[in-house]
Chains A and B, each alone.
Chain A
Amino acid sequence: MTFFSHLRKAAIATAFVLGATAVHADEQYFPLQSYRVGPYAAGGTGFFGGFIDYLNLINIRDGGVNGVKLTWSEGETQYEVEKGVEVYERLKSNPGIAAWNPLSVGIAYAMIDRITDDKVPLITINHGRTDTTDGRVFPYVFPLLLNPYSETSGIVNYIASKEGGLDKLKGKKIVVLYHGSPYGKETIPIYELLSQKYGFELSQIEVPHPGNEQQAQWLTIRREHPDYVVLRGWGVMNPVALKTAQKTGFPADHIVGNVWSNSEEDVIPAGDAAKGYTAITTQASGEQYPVVQEIVKTVYGAGKGNLEDKSRIGSVYHNLGIVNGILNVEAVRIAQVKFGNRTLTGDEVRWGVEHLKLDPARVEALGAKDLFHSINVSWDNHEGDGYVTFQQWDGKKWNVVSDWIAPDWKLLRPIIEKSSEAYAKEKGLKIRTAEDAEAVVSN
């Protein structure tokens, strides 16, 4: 009976681990489905490093959120869906869970039903399923700051601003080079919609996964002679695209990267070919922002910094983790105002995220002015109107080259609602109202 003895051992180990991490009163717990090994470790270590650094800052500097200490533990997922589910099942029995932050579309999808049953928020900052923006259908899922549709609209608005206005897009030619995966294909209809609306010529070219050979695609691009190429890449596809562009003579400063093509890890391997390349981001990189400085001083100063390689402090993924930390912690703080300074239930934190309104003044008070713009989440808008900015790579670091740009949310909302309503129908879900959102489960 080796199998069952394994099971028993596993069960005993479970009991031990759970016992060891049991939280006392007035602690708020963050379960982290991190990925520090595997092909996406660069993103995982940066993001979860930044997130943990910010939680540490709040604990060390402020003694927690209004006296409620923040705790967390990690489970390695390697970005694989089934490992993410295993970690979810392992960590979910911990008391005082604030929110889940998997930073993986696949894992997030597998968790939607589960966290909805548990009534705990699932935060998918800058990514995730676009139609979860509709809080009427997805009460517990939050694609904060930017969903893929808004990203598309932001990129087109940026190109328009470079050309001198949306009306100047007419007759221009844009090529979208996308990763041959569900993620890569998600924005195809939105680019088409915007092309019809603004009258630019559009051609969308697929790069099969993983994208380490793109000669054919770039030769096609050279033939089509576009004004801009949008790079909707992933992993190794990004540096290869930049190198191949250089080889075929397409200028890097006319390539615009999306939110998964915007990190140091995407450009450094391309070397010189990446100079001048521009990419969208919701959070600027660099360590000059007061909150990043405080993390360097307080957290790394105390030897509690999470990044092993200190030169990655202030990188795109590290800053994304910090912004994610700010949003999580502020949601807890806002919920505390209503429910009291104590350990909150998942549903109370959900209420907090649905009232997460940080205007530029509040963002400045948090030491994050220019790091990110603002957020304005409501019970039915779970994205929160995030602004985007564009950074250009100079061969050593990213420099911000645009103002904060607003995507065209009004245009996108009906498409999102159509998709979420279809989902609700498929699943037999009731569309939530504002009153439903105010009903909060506190045990």
Chain B
Amino acid sequence: MAVQALDASRAPIDWQKFALPAVLIVVAYGLIPAYASSYLVEAILLPFLALSLAAVGLNLLTGYCGQLSLGSSAFMAVGAFAAYNFNLRVEGLPLAVTMILAGISAAGIGVVFGLPSLRLRGFYLAVSTLAAQFFVQWALTKFGWFSNDNPSGVISAPRMAVAGFSLDGATGRYLLSVTAVIALTALVWRLVNSATGRNFIAVRDNETAARVIGVPVLRTKLLAFAISSFIIGVAGVLWAFTYLRTVEPAGFNLDRSFQILFIIIIGGLASIRGAFLGAAFIVVFPLFLSRFGAFVFGGLFDSGVLDMSQRIVLGALIIIFLIAEPNGLSALFDRLKRRIGSRSS
């Protein structure tokens, strides 16, 4: 068996598998920095990247390991505020270290709020992660230390530089964002294809059976919470530092947690690609609808009416997509690809 598996992995390299990532990297590092408008970068790509990364993190926990969480935006907040404080209080800390420390802080909080998962499942666990949502927001508002005693509790992102190069421009922030997202996504991709990743799936599919075959369920669940929160924490740093450039506790509210959960449901659970497709749908599509609506009907209705109709259209589309393919956009994408493939062959 083992020999066969080894042989299979030595099969001729599937170039198609590498073509897509290669194209993506050329686009991400070549075409976009060179040609993209500031609107495309600032209003579309930066939120898309931050939310995609958060969705990748949540997908690890919910999609792969089966632990439903409503605390994502709290972990984002922890990441953002931790990065702000490390940067403020430790002189000359490199940006990459700040981001890793922020991720570790979020991971710590994530493990604490992951403890109930040892006893609770499904909706009950979701409700207990809700506690993280309320506690973190309360603590950040209550204790002025977190926001450096800024009277209004809203703090602005610091200047960012790597090795002397300023990253404050739109392109700089974009490159920082895209690099962090690619690095962490690659890491997650490795992880879900490793023994740990299979443990996650075993715990999700049948906890008792997993325990019987010797999966350390306790450790696996906490590990999932830690890694997922780490990634979501870094996503929080990106959201606050590269996209909004301001950090306020109210910005990381329950709505954001739901938004991230919907991204992975619409995109496809237990699929890394799904996180990106879902984020694209949630971030880009409403903008497209809004621009299209304003362009076609702008003179006829005021912006309030237009916005309301866009919500209706978006809601209807979500329902249609999920009826067409309950496993999300990722599965829909595969089906389309197969259909095109079978037609061409």
Contacts and interface: CB of A to CB of B under 8 A. Distances in A.
Interaction A to B: yes
A134 B299 CA distance: 40
Contacts of B333: 2
Interface stretch (A108-116, A159-167, A282-290, A334-342): A108-116
A182 B246 CA distance: 13
B249 interface: yes
Contact of B248 (A78, A148, A182): A182
Contact of B152 (A93, A105, A110, A428): A105
A106 B148 CA distance: 18
Instruction: Classify chain B: how many residues form its interface, as a range.
Output: 35 or more
A181 B303 contact: no
Contacts of B287: 10, 86
A10 B291 contact: yes
A156 B10 CA distance: 80
A20 interface: yes
A443 to B, nearest CB: 18
B43 A3 contact: no
Contacts of A428: 159
Which of B151, B249, B287, B288 gathers the greatest number of chain A CB atoms within 10 Å? B151
Contacts of A2: 277, 280, 329, 333
- Chain A interface size, as a band, is 35 or more
A10 B148 CA distance: 39
Contacts of A427: 156, 158-159
A426 B158 contact: yes
A90 B249 contact: no
Contacts of A6: 280, 284-285, 288
Interface stretch (B1-9, B32-40, B71-79, B192-200): B32-40
Interface in B126-143: 141
Interface in A170-210: 180-183, 185-186, 189
Contacts of B251: 81-82, 106
B291 A17 contact: yes
A66 B153 CA distance: 43
A185 B141 contact: yes
B141 A106 contact: no
A13 B151 contact: no
B151 A41 contact: no
A3 B288 contact: no
A127 B224 CA distance: 43
Nearest to A32: B303
B245 A110 contact: yes
A16 B295 contact: yes
A437 to B, nearest CB: 22
B277 A81 contact: no
A11 interface: yes
Interface in A37-61: 37, 41, 45
A309 interface: no
B110 interface: no
Interface stretch (B98-106, B181-189, B304-312): B304-312
Interface string B75-94: 00000000000001000000
Interface of B: 27, 37-40, 42-44, 47, 88, 141, 147-148, 151-154, 156-159, 168, 243-246, 248-251, 276-277, 280, 284-285, 287-288, 290-292, 294-295, 302-304, 306-308, 329, 333
Given A2-B329, A36-B302, 10 more contacts: A2-B333, A7-B44, A41-B304, A81-B244, A86-B43, A109-B154, A109-B246, A110-B245, A182-B248, A185-B152
The 5 closest A-B pairs by CB, nearest first: A36-B304, A182-B153, A13-B291, A89-B43, A3-B280
12 contacts: A10-B44, A10-B288, A13-B292, A13-B295, A20-B295, A36-B307, A76-B290, A76-B303, A76-B304, A89-B38, A105-B154, A426-B88
